[in-house]
Amino acid sequence: MRESVIMKIHYGTALASVALVAVHILFRLTQGFAESLQYESVIANYEFLPYAGMLEIILILLSIHGFNGLRVILLELKQGPTFEKSVSYGCIAAMALIILYGSRTIFMTSMGMV
Amino acid sequence: MTSEGLQISKEESGIIVSPTKTITLRIFRYNPKINNESKFDEFKIPYQRWTTVLDAILEVKKHLDHSIAVRYSCRQASCGSCGMKINGRPALACFTKISELNSDVITIEPMNNFPIIRDLAVGFERMFSTHKKIKPYIINEESEINPGTKEFLQTPEDVEKYIQFSSCIKCGLCNSACPTMATDSSFVGPQALAQAYRYVADNRDKGKDDRLKIIDDSHGIFRCHFAGSCSQVCPKGVDPAMGIQLLRGYLLGFRD
């Protein structure tokens, strides 16, 4: 994939994350901040499907943005074809793992399996 | 004619001559053929109001130590040969007056981000290879030198888009000041990117897609952090940082 396409995705995920995380924080203000972090309240959030969907989207956006950022930082630290391939594939693998693990948590909680 | 101190003498012709002062030059010395240790040698030399750092170095070479390696040629900021770090800042030695530095000690070092050949002389291979890589010439099948073809007319507005970037003298100061060049040994660099913009913005050129492909890789234009130091040190008033941002506009689809 061309670097300009990757960077378009990078900038796009950053903007979308800011918007969705703002919504997420605003939801905390619908009740007291401490109350909103109580166990029952958090579980209720996950069981509300549109909200769980938003959390899933935030997870995907931040993982893509964060791991691409990490890739860029690492590519600047050291150069060489082997290192660069390892960094690129390593970041994609780590991103996929985080998304899978996070999605599993969101899915299980929203289905009432926790 | 003049003496050290504050006396200002006046020649019979009426030309006012400034008093001579002295300055300490700390010159970086390194010769990999002898050993890998670097050091600074100090020289006290007289200077006038108009004395440049290059004049001072040549004075040292002439009278005190002829073994100092320095590259220079035109002495008028046209050739781009005498780039070096003067009091920590990349600058052309021939374009920097000692009197403007406001310092009694001047530290002169080779440019950062370039391999040192000896003392103040650095190797330009990397910069010239990235410069060549971006195809720094107009690509157009309908060459204006072919008989029977018309010359390519440009309006002042067309010229305005790229003219400042054509002032680049390839001195390497922008690459020396670039923080990304310091860490990323494969980065294209502000000099080559500014030149890529110079040709992409030229409406006579048809090689835009080729050039954009070349700079659109993992060590290309998107590794620029927009620190802006390249533009600050350019002795010819070129603004590579702006060129890089405008070039990004083409790649991100904001410009055609």
The whole-number pLDDT of residue B16 equals: 55
Closest CA of chain A from B63, distance in Å: 44
Tell whether B96 and B143 lie within a shared domain. no
Tell whether B142 and B234 lie within a shared domain. yes
Tell whether B179 and B197 lie within a shared domain. yes
Which CATH number characterizes residue B204's domain? 1.10.1060.10
Mean pLDDT of chain B, nearest integer: 90
Domains with residue ranges and CATH for chain A: 3-110 (1.20.1300.10)
Give the β-pairing of B21-30 and B105-109: parallel
Tell whether B114 and B157 lie within a shared domain. no
Whether residue A36 is predicted with pLDDT greater than 90 in this model: the reply is no
Greatest Cα-to-Cα distance within chain B, rounded to the nearest angstrom: 68
Domain around B207: 125-252
- Residue where one domain finishes, among candidates B102, B122, B142: B122
Tell whether B180 and B243 lie within a shared domain. yes
With respect to residue B91, please indicate whether it lies within any of the assigned structural domains. Answer: yes
With respect to residue B3, please indicate whether it lies within any of the assigned structural domains. Answer: no
Amino acid, res. B17: V
- How much is the average pLDDT of B107-130? 97
The whole-number pLDDT of residue B10 equals: 43
The whole-number pLDDT of residue B14 equals: 53
Nearest CA in chain B to A69: B223
Tell whether B21 and B85 lie within a shared domain. yes
Give the per-residue SS3 of chain B: CCCECCCCEECCCCCEECCEEEEEEEEEEECCCCCCCEEEEEEEEEECCCCEHHHHHHHHHHHCCCCCCCCCCCCCCCCCCCEEEECCEEEEHHHCEHHHCCCCEEEEECCCCCCEEECCEECCHHHHHHHHHCCCCCCCCCCCCCCCCCCCCCCHHHHHCCHHHHHCCCCCHHHHHCHHHHHCCCCCCHHHHHHHHHHHCCCCCCCHHHHHHHHCCCCCHHHCCCCCHHHHHCCCCCCHHHHHHHHHHHHHCCCC
With respect to residue B2, please indicate whether it lies within any of the assigned structural domains. Answer: no
Tell whether B87 and B134 lie within a shared domain. no
Tell whether B46 and B107 lie within a shared domain. yes
The whole-number pLDDT of residue B70 equals: 97
Tell whether B195 and B234 lie within a shared domain. yes
Query: Which residues does chain B have within 8 Å of residue A91's beta carbon, measured at their own beta carbons?
Result: none
Tell whether B92 and B132 lie within a shared domain. no
- Residue where one domain finishes, among candidates B58, B87, B122: B122
Give the number of domains in chain B. 2
B4-45, pLDDT tens digit by residue? 433 333 444 455 556 678 999 999 999 998 888 999 999 999
Tokens (6 digits) for B68: 């100092």
Query: Which residues does chain B have within 8 Å of residue A76's beta carbon, measured at their own beta carbons?
Result: 180, 183-184, 187, 223
With respect to residue B4, please indicate whether it lies within any of the assigned structural domains. Answer: no
With respect to residue B242, please indicate whether it lies within any of the assigned structural domains. Answer: yes
Which CATH number characterizes residue B15's domain? 3.10.20.30
Nearest CA in chain B to A87: B218
- Residue where one domain finishes, among candidates B122, B142, B174: B122
With respect to residue B143, please indicate whether it lies within any of the assigned structural domains. Answer: yes
B166-215, pLDDT tens digit by residue? 999 999 999 999 999 999 999 999 999 999 999 999 999 999 999 999 99
With respect to residue B92, please indicate whether it lies within any of the assigned structural domains. Answer: yes
The whole-number pLDDT of residue B15 equals: 55
Tell whether B133 and B35 lie within a shared domain. no
Closest CA of chain A from B248, distance in Å: 8
The whole-number pLDDT of residue A75 equals: 94
Tell whether B49 and B91 lie within a shared domain. yes
A15-33, pLDDT tens digit by residue? 999 999 999 998 888 878 7
Q: Which of A8, A76, A77 sits opposite B252 (nearest CB)?
A: A8
Closest CA of chain B from A7, distance in Å: 8
**Residue B34 phi/psi, 5° resolution?**
-95, -60
With respect to residue B52, please indicate whether it lies within any of the assigned structural domains. Answer: yes
